[in-house]
Structures are given as C-alpha cells and as structure tokens.
Amino acid sequence: MKGTRKAILAEIRAWINNPAAHQICWLTGKAGSGKSSIAKTVCMEAERDTTVVLGGSFFCSLAAQRDIRCVVPTLAQLLAQKSVEFCMALFEMLEPGIQYKEVSVQIEKLLYAPLLALRDFRLPILFVIDALDECGGETSDGMLNDKMSHEIVSGMLEALASLMPSDPRLTVKFLVTSRPETHIRDTSISDAEFSRVLRLHAVNKEEVDGDIRRYITENLNTRLSRKPKIRAKFTESGVSDLVQFCDGLFIVAATALKHTFSAGVDAAAAKFEKLLNMSRDNLDATAAAPLDEMYTVILADAVAVDGHEASELPPLHRILASILSARMTLSITALEDLLELDVRATLSRLHAVVHVPDDDDEPGLRTVHASFGDYLFDRASDRHRILRSFSHEDLTHACLGVMGRRLYFNISKSDSSYEPNQSTQTSYITLSLEYACLNWAHHLVASNLGHSITATFDSLIGEVFRTKFLFWLEVLSILRKVTVAVGLLRIAAAIVSLLL
C-alpha cells in the first residue's frame, strides 16, 4: 500500500544507488512480516526508475518456482531479454546441460562472465530473489529433496558472495529475502563484510504498527465507502485491538480483513467483533501466536455451519492436506476428480487462507501464505492438525483411483498406432489423470506406510497395472514423459511387493 514501509524502502533504494555499497542485501524476517510485499514493491519501482535496470526477479514462494536449479538460469534469461550485449555474451557461455551444473558454475557462466561484457553499462543492475527459504521439497524430476535443495541454496549464496564483488566493473545488486533459516543464516550472506543485512523484526515497532493501522483503516474505508452505518461499527478501539493482535505481522492484518468480509459486507462487523473477542482471550507471547490464533478462528468458523461441524471436518482436512502436499497446483475440477469431493463448496468459507481460482478448470489452488501449511502440519490443535503421512496416503489412493477410472485403450483417439504423438489429441487427458500418472509413486513413498496398509496398496496397484499398464505408458508417451516410467516403478518397488 502506498505510503507504508517508507523507511525500509528508503534504505533499499539508497543501497541500490550506492556503487560503494555491498552487492548483496539480505532482507530477513519471520513469516508474515511483509518480505515478499517489499520485494514486489522494489521490483515495481525499479521497472519505473530510469536510473536502475531490473535485471530479473525470482519469487520462490510461487509453487511452480521452488526448484532452486531454476533461479540462476531464469535471472540470466530475463536479463538477456533486456540487453543485447548480455544476450550475445551469454550465448558464448552456453553449453549442454548447464542447468544441471554446480550452482557456482551456473553463476560464473550464466551471470558473472556475461555481465563482465557490459563494460560501458553505468546503471546498476538489480536482481531480486524472494523467499529463498521456500526453495525446497522434492522436485518434479525426483532429483532433489529438501536437504539437497538447502545445500544448493547455501552454495549459491556463497558463490554470489565470493564472485560478484571481485570486479569493480560490475554494477550489480542482489536483493535476497528469506526467513532466518539455519542453512541461509550460516552463509556469508549474514556477514556484514559481504552483504547489507536488513532485519524486519528490528524495525521500529511504532512505525510497523502505524503502517498496519493505515492498511486496516484504508481497507475499511474503501470496502465500506457506501455503507457508512456499518463503517461506524468499526471503532478506533477495535482497530487498535487488531493492530495490537497483529504483533507486527502484516499477514495477520490481511488475513483478518479477508475473513471479516468473507461472508459479505452486511456480516462484516459481526465477524470482526467475534474475531477480536476470541483473540483477546487467547493471545500469548509466542512468535507464531497471532497467526495461529487467526487460523484457529477461521477454521472453527468454516466448519461451524448449521451444526454439522463434525461431519465437515474430514472432507475439509482431506482437501487442505491435498492442496498442501500436491506436487503442483491443481484446479478445482482436478482435485474434485481426485478426491471425489465438492471442493469449491467446502472451501467457500476459507478464501481468507486459500486462493481459489474463479474458473474451475484453472490450476492455482494454493494456500495464501506458507505459514498456514506450517500451522496445519506442526502447530494446530489435535482437532485440526494434519499428518503429512495422511495427506500422501490419501493422494496415493486418489491417484490410483483416477487411473483406475480414467485409463483406457487409445486414450489419445489416434487413428493409427503408427502416428507420432505430435499429431494426437491430448484434451482427453485431464489434469487429474496427468497428475495421477506422474505422481502416484512419489506420494506412495512419502506416505511412510506400515506393512498392513502397504498390503492394501499391493492390491490397488495390482488392479490398475495388471489391466492398464500399457494405457498408463500411452499417457506418459503423449505427455512426453515416458522416460520417467522406469523411475516411478523403481520408486514404488521399494514399498510394495507387487513390483519387486
């Protein structure tokens, strides 16, 4: 919001425009403190500023961008689209398989060496890497897990710290944001000798509270501009209580307002007062308390409809578990096909914490903030906590179920088996079937199942693959993923006896 975060943005601007300043700036803070919003604002200002060039940005919090191997190649590609000189120099450095090289080699060949070619480039070039701590998880090709991703993150930061300052001709700046996770904090990025460190939790509390108050007030004024009587019910005292409850976390304010207006303008004042009353009674001093309490209130409100709370919890947990554990963002239609549940209706009261696309066929189901997943997996009460193994077990059942229902002979409707796949129709392969065919084995392994449940999957896998194995291969072939078939079967063979 215009007019907020003035001091921290001014510090970042001064760092960008100071050629003598460190080439790396690490903006760190706890979840929900506003790091990504600041990073986005910096990018938008740089695009409009004629005294700086936005070389590229990479937002790791986006589900499709959590593969750490993509960061450096993406930044290089983005700058190549803006600078012919850089593009020509980059072309000279390209070699087969560069995307699989050590990250230090990527930085040297895709960024450092081509940047040296810009000898007459006087404007600072800014690269923004946001939420670096969220790069991780098992990659789509199965080559990386959390541990390996974290090692690459550490290696990338060390390479940036050592390579970039080594030539005074490089007018390059890297703004990196993350939570102060150990694998990031223990690198040179936290050393004042190598980088400028800005800690959001060290910003003056009065300034932060003032920004949050402005955000809340302007949102209320805008949303209720035509409802003065309802606006009058939101007292200054109530706004102050919400500011205090937020405890410096912008995500709490944003989530509170989304929840307040989730049932429409007419019900907003009552929902706001209920939220404040519950927060006054339960707030404690732990760092995650404001977010956790907010999420507890929203979940309780979502299932307390017409007195059917107990019956609504299981399907809600299944849907949330699937959204959190899916290996790609799914659409409403795809998740409904996988789980055989009414997803949109179940999520209708959770739009404050779950992004639900307007179009049922548009992929994009995800939590609004990563902290909601942390809460559900690690800190929620027994009533609402979700076991990671349960989510993967459920998705394994769902994937095998879709494959059993949807796989059939000549699914591509080819006129001849001699036709190349390029000429076949892929519209018959739904997103749910594509997801199931590519990910069933990964969820099977991640479920960490015991022998009794594994026997169930022996039977399910047998039912699908004894009769539809070739149909599965046909789908992978159409998707140009047939080479992963052996890998998926080997992954599954480690768990179930049928494939040994």
Q: Is residue 15 part of a domain?
A: yes
Predicted local distance difference test score (pLDDT) of residue 309 = 52
Residues 151 and 239 in one domain: no
pLDDT digits (tens, 9 = 90+) for 184-202: 989 999 988 889 999 987 7
Domain presence at residue 351: yes
In this prediction, residue 308 carries a pLDDT of 47
> Looking at the structure, do residues 213 and 265 belong to the same domain, yes or no?
yes
Residues 340 and 433 placed together within one structural domain of the fold: no
pLDDT of 238-249, one tens digit each?
999 899 888 788
Residue 418 in domain: yes
Tokens, residue 270: 């009552």
Same domain, 175 and 220: no
Tell me: pLDDT of 282 over 60: no
pLDDT score of 214: 96
Shared domain check, 113 and 42: yes
Supply the pLDDT for residue 449.
58
Both 116 and 252 in a single domain? no
197 and 140 housed in the same domain: yes
Please give the residue range of the domain that contains residue 169. 6-202
The mean pLDDT value of the chain amounts to 85
Q: What is the pLDDT of residues 371-391, one digit of tens each?
A: 788 889 988 888 889 988 888
On whether both 276 and 164 belong to a single domain, the answer is no
More confident residue, 230 or 65: 230
User: 193: domain CATH number?
Assistant: 3.40.50.300
Is the Cβ–Cβ distance between 400 and 461 less than 8 Å? yes
In the DSSP assignment, the letter for residue 25 is E
| C-alpha pair distances (Å), 463 with each of 139, 203, 499 | 28, 59, 13
Q: Looking at the structure, do residues 100 and 173 belong to the same domain, yes or no?
A: yes
Does one domain contain both 36 and 75? yes
Secondary structure (3-state) at 177 = strand
pLDDT at residue 24, rounded to an integer: 94
Tally of domains within the chain: 4
Region 267-292: mean pLDDT is 71
Q: Which two tokens stand for residue 56?
A: 């590229």
> Which residue, of 202, 222, 243, is where some domain finishes?
202
Residue 297 resides in a domain: no
Residue 86 placed within a domain: yes
Same-domain status, 158 and 46: yes
* pTM of the shown model: 0.68
**Does residue 450 surpass a pLDDT of 60?**
no
Q: What is the pLDDT of residue 283?
A: 44
Of 17-31, 135-149, 244-258, minimum mean pLDDT range = 135-149
User: In the listed set 173, 202, 231, which residue is the last one of a domain according to the structure?
Assistant: 202
Give the whole-number percent of the chain exceeding pLDDT 90: 44
Mean pLDDT confidence for 120-135: 88
Q: What pLDDT, in 10s, does the model give residues 8-48?
A: 999 999 999 998 899 999 999 877 889 999 999 999 999 99
Give a yes or no: residue 106 inside a domain: yes
Tell me the C-alpha to C-alpha distance, in Å, between residue 498 and each of 300, 373, 463, 489, 494. Answer: 43, 34, 11, 10, 10
CB contact at 8 A, 303 and 316: yes
Domain end, chosen from 325, 351, 379, is at: 379
Same domain, 197 and 242: no
